[in-house]
Structure 1
Amino acid sequence: MSSDTASRSKDDKDLEATEVQGNVGNVYRSEVDTSGIDEKKLMRRIDWHVVPWLALLYLLNFLDRGSIGNAKLYHMTDDLHITDKQYLIALTVFFFPYSLFEPPSNVALKKLRPSIWLSFIMLVWGIAMTLHGVITNYAGLVGLRFLLGLAEAGLYPGVVFYMSCWYRRDELGTRVGVFFSSATIAGAFSGLLAAAIAKMDGVGGRPGWAWIFILEGLFTILCAIASFFILSDFPDTAKFLTDTESVWVVRRLQADMKFSAGGELFKMKYVWQALTDWNTWLAMGIYMGFDGPLFAFSLFTPTIINQLGYQATVANLLSVPVYAWACIMTVVVGFWGDRAKCRAWINLGLFGSGLVGYIILICSKTPSLSYFAVYLAASSIYPTIPNSVAWVSSNVEGSYKRSAVLGMAIGWGNLNGAVTSNVYRAVDKPWYKLGHGIVLAYIAIGWLCSLAYYVHLRYENARRDRGDRDEVIKGTDSKRADEKNGRFESVQAARMEKGDQWSGFRYSL
């Protein structure tokens, strides 16, 4: 038997097991024969259609958001006649629309096509980015940072939710890791790009920092237009899949307990389910634990290195190897998480190494030691994100509930960027002990919430194994079934109604 045939046979058995467990007489569009599908070949094609372009979009998202940190080193604040306090306020303004718009944006993406919604918001932020290069005062900077935050809000949670609608739970970490590695590439590339573009100082009567915004913004606009034609939609409507391939993708997702994969009508109860689930709030704590440090790190790494005694261009260039290391770690951890199936312990280990890194930054008085600690911090913060994203999204069933949970968690996490964008004050240079201490506290919160999330999921799985969560199903006789868990006409009805609260759902640890 060939490896492809063996793989398909295993997948068929998984589907049959799901049918038996759910007492369901058919699968999604049972009249369609998918036996001729070559799984490995099709998944490679899906990867090429889904991951690379999304990674490019997120690279631009992160590059555009953080380029203000590079521009600051080339006298942007002097030319705009703004104080350090005003600069921090401008950074803070970005995060309020960026955080609050994320949950409704995810619902909009689900109701519209990703190719329309993601391309539209990208076009808006590209225009806002370009206009950064023509402003002349503080008011213009604040207004554009607000618009940039509003437009960029939908990309990250939208892409994470979108990818969770394509891949099984044991596949998502690797893809999110590759996707999110573009953020580290953006961090490295921004330093090189800024150093090169700054040499255009005086061209067209504009300073070098202005050209950083103008050129990056124009490229984002071009990519936004291309996205209308390049981005694919969900598995059941994607144009690059044949009808048979679409059915096969939906079925394998249903076999992975993503049984809403074949389409789901929006109901407000799904949002309410997200709000009343303890897991949602613990997930928000985890996201808070890495998003706060992420924004502090991405916005101030060049400044921190600069204040350790390095000039602007050298500081930008020294940030490149830091992000290159973070990129390698992000991909490795994403790949490892899918295969080791121990995301809780990976999270605890990564947050733990981050605690060590920031303790060193607080205690160090040596530039070289502090520079080493920056590497340790980067290799902790960035890999934690795809591992946490895959962990949280794999434990939420129901496409609308998943979009709401991810929107809330990511939105809350990003809102904390409004705090951490203010913690590295000029008066605290060169060692920035206050900023490092606050970031340390955030990482500690992430560690504690990861531990609580793991304990709660394990406890719930044990209760379901004992039958404590069994629903009353018409026509069946279960000694453990309890009315308080719900009464349903069939197991399938219970699954679709309760999502991850269904007694047969098992959380991944």
Structure 2
Amino acid sequence: MDIKYQPDRESEQSQEKGTVLALEHLDDHNLSKAERVHQVEVAIASPEVTLESFAHLDIKKILWKVDLRLIPTLTLLYLLSFLDRGNIGNAKIEGLAEDLGLTGAQYNWCLTAFFFTYCVFEVPSNMMLKKLRPSIWLPTIMVAWGIVMTLMGLVKSYHGLLAARIFLGIAEAGLFPGVVYYNTMWYCRYEVQVRQAIFFSAASVAGAFSGLLAYGISYMDGVGGLAGWRWIFILEGILTTVVACMAYFTIYDFPETASFLTTEERAFLAFRLKYDGQDATTDQSFRVAQNDHRDWKTVRAAFCDWQIWINIVVYWGYVCPLYGISLFLPTIIKELGFLSTTAQLLTVPIYVSASAITIAVAFAADRLRIRSPFIVGGLVFQLIGFSMCLSSSNAGVTYAGIFIAACAIYPCQPSNITWMSNNLAGSYKRAVGMGIQISVGNLAGAMASNFYRAADKPRYKLGHALEIGFITAGLIAASILIVSYRTVNAKRERAMANAEHNGYTPAELSDLGDKAITFRYTL
């Protein structure tokens, strides 16, 4: 967190002591959530309250309390989300295509249809999250996709599977962008990537778990007169629905209303989040809160922000390979000459390794307060991995290339979404902006679902070549962003040196958000 206030300690010491005492004795036991929010907002709006007012609190202890309540639940939700959208790849090699009489093109259309509705509903879902609260919205959409997933195990034809995938995309659309945004409402800019990485590592764990689960469920073939691939959908759908019902009672909304925190701790978290992102040194009387306007002007500002659209190309650079891996990895490995059960198991070490590397990279990125070098590094290693796959017909080399590529893909996602969230100021603009980034970015899934055609097996040269093309585009876009951010930051440094910020009121700087000369883009 980069809040560099310089209060006059001698003149404010007595005021702060009184403020701390007032915060310590706030009583909100019988207040509603709305009244708690108002109470905290009033408390932290006082000019007497500074970061020093909370100096006696142990921030590590408070964040640990938050982590224990948030991260396990969010990780489980995303694990189930990724498991449910990707298990069609496991079902395919257990006989789905043969039983439904699917052609290669029809199977790919079932993959593609998911992403169309998934992308369309992500931005509206993030706006609904702000309106309905996370504790209601997230479990509700999860119940919906759990039901869809369960019913997918009963489909009888191509059209039934296609319809189920379309509705699965609608239901799942809100989880990933919603949780990514939700984390930014609890953690400051240089704390959030570790949490995003732990949460996102569930995607790679889901890949490993999916292979193991599919391996075990495949032995249920014939139970109840149903094929093994149907049981994959049914059992995983039921599990999702049960966990979703539990989530209504385990998801907390926002720091201001968290019952597991004291009133003073809630005020502290709210205060540091409110002023997070103003990197330039200003005096206490000129502190600038983040803009939280909820109007069409803010929505328009997000849609017109150049950095979001360039970042989307970076997003495509690793999400195309991500979905190519998650949807086709079992098939690719099977075509190398392995049995279907062996292919399921060979996906496990790839995903476990990717998960560990993702978390390690996140710790380093938050500690160093940088994002782009890890994104660029990940893209470069993806190029190496897919180049190995493209250039060799040897099964061992191809498997090694996929291994390297996967381990480089997964760390890029939390790095890039955190990079974007760091560089959007104002919680409502951030909600819309990240919704745009993730929704348009995930159109890559619609493209990647058609990269690996049955006609190209076993080498899949076209698919690997297309992945390399998108990775290269991502590297170019990341370079453009880095140069642009450096240029803007240097320009704002010069403006601050000339005291140009004195020509703005705090309210005006708040309205400018990340366009304010006091804001510094994270590199």
CA contact (8 A) 1:15 1:251 kept: no
Counterpart-to-counterpart distance in 1, 2:160 and 2:377:
43
- Inter-partner Cα distance in structure 2 for 1:129 and 1:262: 40
Secondary structure of the corresponding residue to residue 189 of structure 2: coil
Q: What is the CA distance between 1:450 and its match in structure 2? A: 1.0
RMSD over aligned CA atoms reads 2.3
* Letter matched to residue 442 of structure 1: F
Query: What residue in structure 2 maps to residue 508 of structure 1?
Result: 522
- Aligned mate of 1:124, from 144, 154, 173: 144
Distance 1:305 1:71, change over 3 A: same
Would the aligned equivalents of 1:361 and 1:436 in 2 still touch at CA under 8 Å?
yes
Deviations 1:131-175 (A, max 9, x none): 011111111101100000011111001111110111111111111
What is aligned with 2:178?
Answer: 158
Distance 1:262 1:347, change over 3 A: closer
Corresponding residue SS for 1:423: coil
Match of 1:314 in 2: 342
Q: State which drifts further: 237-246 or 268-277.
A: 237-246
The corresponding residue for 1:90 is 110
State which of 173, 193, 205 in structure 1 corresponds to 2:225: 205
SS of equivalent residue, structure 1 residue 230: coil
C-alpha distance in structure 1 between counterparts of 2:499 and 2:166, whole Å: 57
- Measured in 2, the distance between the counterparts of 1:389 and 1:28 equals 29
Among 460, 481, 489, the alignment partner of 1:453 is 481
Which amino acid in 2 is paired with 1:16?
Y
Tell me how far 1:239 sits from its aligned partner. Answer: 2.9
8 Å contact from structure 1 (residues 289, 413) kept in 2 = no
Identity %: 44
Shift, 1:497, TM fit: 0.6
Contact 2:385 2:404 in 1 (8 A): yes
For residue 258 of structure 2, give the secondary structure of its aligned residue in structure 1: coil
Q: Which shifted more, 258-267 or 240-249?
A: 258-267
Q: Note if 1:28 corresponds to 2:56.
A: no
The 10-residue stretch of structure 1 (59-68 or 232-241) with the greater mean CA deviation from structure 2: 232-241
Q: How far has the Cα of 1:36 moved from its partner? A: 4.4
In structure 2, how many angstroms separate the alpha carbons of the residues matched to 1:333 and 1:284? 21
* Equivalent residue for 1:16, pick from 5, 28, 32: 5
In the other structure, the counterpart of 1:7 is none
| C-alpha distance in structure 1 between counterparts of 2:302 and 2:8, whole Å | 27
Give the drift of 1:47: 0.7
Change in Cα spacing, 1:302 to 1:18, as seen in structure 2 (3 Å) is farther
Matches within 5 A, 1:402-417: 402-417=430-445
Distance (Å, rounded) in 2 between the aligned partners of 1:89 and 1:366: 30
Specify the SS of the correspondent of 1:136: coil
Structure 1 unaligned blocks of 5 or more: 1-10, 471-477
Residue type at the aligned position of 1:227: A
On the 8 A contact 1:232/1:240 being kept in 2, the answer is: no
Residue equivalent to 1:57 = 77
Q: Once the 2 structures are TM-superposed, how far is the Cα of residue 19 of structure 1 from its aligned partner? A: 11
**Selected match of 1:149 from 163, 169, 172:** 169
Deviation at 1:241, TM superposition (A): 2.3
In 2, Cα distance between equivalents of 1:166 and 1:457: 25
Q: Secondary structure at the match of 1:187?
A: helix
Q: Relative to structure 1, is the Cα distance of residues 479 and 43 closer, same or farther in structure 2, using a 3 angstrom cutoff?
A: closer
User: What's the secondary structure of 1:416's corresponding residue?
Assistant: helix
In structure 2, what residue type is equivalent to 1:445? A
Partner Cα distance (1:82, 1:131) in 2? 18
Figure out how many residues of one structure are paired with residues of the other and give that number.
480
Structure 1 residues 328-347: aligned runs within 5 Å: 328-347=356-375
Paired residue secondary structure (1:332): helix
1:278 and 2:306 correspond: yes
* CA gap 1:77/1:249 in 2 versus in 1, 3 angstroms: same
Aligned to 1:287: 315
Aligned: 1:498 with 2:487: no
- Structure 1 window deviating more from structure 2 (73-82 vs 304-313): it is 73-82
Q: How much does 1:128 deviate? A: 0.4
1:46 to 66, 74, 78: 66
Q: Summarize the Cα distance change of 1:17–1:481 in structure 2 as closer, same or farther, 3 Å threshold.
A: closer
Q: How does 1:80-479 map to 2 (within 5 A)?
A: 80-257=100-277, 264-467=292-495
Cα distance in 1, alignment partners of residues 340 and 173 from structure 2: 30
- Once residues 417 and 61 of structure 2 are traced to their aligned partners in structure 1, the CA distance between those partners, rounded to angstroms, is 26
1:157-204 C-alpha deviation (Å, 9 max, x unpaired): 111111011111111111111111111100001000001011111111
1:309 partner SS: coil
TM-score (norm 1): 0.90
Separation of aligned partners in 2, 1:263 and 1:127: 39
- Give CA-to-partner distance per residue, 1:11-45, whole Å, 9 cap, x none: 9x94634999xxxx998243776454222211100
SS in 2 for 1:244: helix
Q: Deviations over 1:211-252 (max 9, x none)?
A: 000000001001111111100111222332232111100112
Secondary structure of the structure 2 residue equivalent to 1:467: helix
What is the TM-score of this pair, normalised by structure 2?
Answer: 0.88
Q: How far did residue 255 of structure 1 move?
A: 4.0
Equivalence for 2:283 = none
Offset from partner CA, 1:476-505 (integer Å, 9 cap, x none): xx77579xxxx75x2x20222111101101
Q: Determine the C-alpha separation between the residues in 1 that align with 2:245 and 2:291.
A: 28
How has the CA–CA distance of structure 1 residues 481 and 187 changed in structure 2, closer, same or farther, with 3 Å as cutoff?
closer
The 2-side partners of 1:387 and 1:481 are apart by 31
Is structure 2 residue 86 aligned with structure 1 residue 66?
yes
Q: Measure the CA separation in 1 of the matches of 2:398 and 2:166.
A: 33
Could you say which residue in structure 2 is the equivalent of 1:5? none
Q: Deviations along 1:364-389, whole A, 9 cap, x unmatched?
A: 11000000001111111101111111
Counterpart CA distance in 2 for 1:261 and 1:438 is 44
Name the SS of the counterpart of 2:257 in structure 1: coil
For the 8 Å contact 1:260–1:398, the answer to whether it is kept is: no
Deviations 1:454-474 (A, max 9, x none): 111111101101118x9xxxx
